[in-house]
Amino acid sequence: MKPTNKNSWRYRLHEIIYEADTPMGKLFDIILLILILLSVVIVMLESVRSIDLEYHKLFYVIEWIITIFFSIEYIARIITVKKPKNYIFSFYGIIDLLSTIPLYLSFILVGSNYLLTVRALRLLRVFRILKITRYIGEGNKLRKALVESRAKIFIFIFAVLIVAIIAGTLMYLIEGEESGFNSIPVSVYWCIVTLTTVGFGDIAPITPAGQFLATIIMILGYGVIAVPTGIVSAQYVRKASDDYVHVNTQSCSNCGEPKHRDDAKFCHKCGEELHPENNPEA
């Protein structure tokens, strides 16, 4: 039963839940956003012992109210949408489900309520609600640039991992357990910490040979950081140049307007025909 009848409650509910054109739809979306934010903040604050001790009951009640609201919303989305299956298995459908389950699970599994922070992903709806099509356009460009660079990025991560495994083993053999290089996996972890220039310092080489090898790893990592940057930069430069055309130095004989497209036959300012063959500069 498709909600084609414009007056049916299903159609009206669909308008409110999925669209943001009507005042009711807008209000619904804004309330939704506030509840998502509130919910994420509460889950985060619950984990702070001192705050939780004082407001535990309040948090508990709000969590349940929000979860019940989200559950109703989830069911309403399924009922009002034309093809429920498409929604249920879409990115947002899965996120919406994952946003309610953890609290119900918390009866059985202690600590699972913290997984409610997955609700943060629901915040991505903000783009749809704020109708920032321009921002979505940017996001799409970004995603496209990343997708097109995926082969390069895959090779890059692969290379980083192989370097980290080899170098990590050497560091384990050189440094040993005294400086915290307890095992090869830990050494490999340290190598990645160093290659990515994060450098926690909880593990650090203390022998001269270890420090020498660390130096090589760091300079390598320093040079290597250039690679993904170069890849994305080049991708971006190329993407960016799609909106630009090359102009030359010929100027219009009528209005003197310079900088015409290479293939221009008429002046874009006054409409006069251009004569590139008479133009010494062209």
Q: Cβ neighbours of residue 24 under 8 Å, at least 6 residues apart?
A: 15, 16
Nearer to a copy of itself, 87 or 172 (CB): 172
> CB of 72: closest distance to a copy of itself in angstroms?
25
- The CB-based long-range contact list for 161-169 (8 Å cut-off, 24+ gap) reads 163/191, 163/195, 163/220, 164/188, 164/191, 164/192, 164/195, 165/191, 167/191, 167/213, 167/217
Sign of CA dihedral 138, 144, 145, 150: positive
Rounded-to-integer distance, Cα 280 and Cα 282, Å: 6
Nearer to a copy of itself, 2 or 143 (CB): 143
> CB of 221: closest distance to a copy of itself in angstroms?
7
Count of CB atoms within 10 A of residue 171's CB? Answer: 28
> CB of 123: closest distance to a copy of itself in angstroms?
6
Nearer to a copy of itself, 90 or 215 (CB): 215
> CB of 279: closest distance to a copy of itself in angstroms?
13
Q: DSSP code of 200?
A: -
> CB of 21: closest distance to a copy of itself in angstroms?
18
Nearer to a copy of itself, 100 or 235 (CB): 235
Rounded-to-integer distance, Cα 73 and Cα 84, Å: 14
> CB of 28: closest distance to a copy of itself in angstroms?
22
Nearer to a copy of itself, 83 or 134 (CB): 134
Cα 264 to Cα 234, 253, 258, 274: the distances in Å are 29, 14, 12, 7
Q: DSSP code of 272?
A: P
Nearer to a copy of itself, 105 or 204 (CB): 204
